[in-house]
Amino acid sequence: MAVRKILRMGDPLLWEVARPVTAFGTPMLRQLIDDMFETMRAAGGVGIAAPQIGESLQVVIFGFEACERYPEAPPVPLTVLINPLLTPLDETEESGWEGCLSVPGMRGEVPRWRRIRYQGCDPDGQPIDRTAEGFHARVVQHECDHLIGRLYPSRIRDFTRFGFTDVLFPERPD
């Protein structure tokens, strides 16, 4: 396992649509996933997408028991999701504060679907089909946006609700 460099907003790879994974259970895929977990943990994140570490593949990981960056957030199951498909389960949106390892030191209030279904595969190609709501749904949508070349600032509707974390939330780490 290795901690990889996290690409930051402005890197052209972050604006690209990632390629689907076609070979499951390979040593190369397992190494990528191990590196993603190691990188996410080292950065204190709750999720990361393969493009954030320079790999244009449809792979995201997310999950935590507790997180210093989002202390009020309930646990999210540790998940590897490959070639995801997201479906909103109703029209209800919730706005919530988001940060991103590729946009360090900043937070913004972003609207997301409150309830979603997410489908895809695990590292061995076995199907995953889950529903999620609240923060869990927010994390999944945020990470999957990376696979279509979107970063959370492009979803912000009110830029008075976007800024540096230490200014907006001086009591929180980032």
CA distance 156 to 162: 8
For residue 116, the tally of other CB atoms under 10 A from its CB is 21
CA distance 138 to 33: 21
- Does residue 55 carry a catalytic annotation? no
* Contact present, 51 and 60 (Cβ < 8 Å): no
User: Choosing from 16, 38, 65, 143, which is the catalytic residue?
Assistant: 143
* Contact present, 71 and 173 (Cβ < 8 Å): no
Which residue, 134, 155, 126, is CA-closest to 76? 134
What is the torsion angle, in degrees rounded to the nearest 10, for the CA atoms of residue 114, residue 153, residue 40 and residue 4?
150
Q: Would you please indicate which residues are annotated as catalytic (active-site) residues?
A: 143
